[in-house]
Amino acid sequence: MEIGIKGERRFTVTEAQLASNVGSGLVAVFATPMMIAAIEGTAAGSVAPELAEGKTTVGTQINVSHVAATPEGMEVRIETELAEISPNGKMFTFKVAAYDEAGLIGEGTHQRAVVDKARFEQKAIAKKGE
């Protein structure tokens, strides 16, 4: 794994992604939680091919600003770049940005931790006491 790995994703904002439909507000514009999900997915996907078998990453921190509204039907582009790897190689920090056809709509940082997928899921299920 090396610093500088980039990810990019493009999609068109749908009605299902509007703040008024996801419970994050009353306005019919691209919802902040949907922008965050797109950022997380893009970052995760960018490093996934470099991980060992059975490993994945999980989001641990996100610090982004959402600076401009995007209407339904407009294209959004998400860009991520791996900016830092912890000394033990288990924590990744990404620089992230989101754009619509008119310009910047969000930017910040996102952190992901490398985990063993099966063990992580088993630990979560164990919380139910089963």
Which residues are part of the catalytic machinery? 32, 40, 66
Neighbours of 67 (CB within 10 A): 11
**What is the spatial distance between Cα 129 and Cα 12, in angstroms, rounded to a whole number?**
41
- DSSP letter string, 18-79: BHHHHTS-SSSBB-HHHHHHHHHHHHHHHHGGGSPTTEEEEEEEEEEEE-S--BTT-EEEEE
The two counts, helices (H) then strands (E), for the chain are: 3, 5
**How far apart are alpha carbons 46 and 103 in whole angstroms?**
23
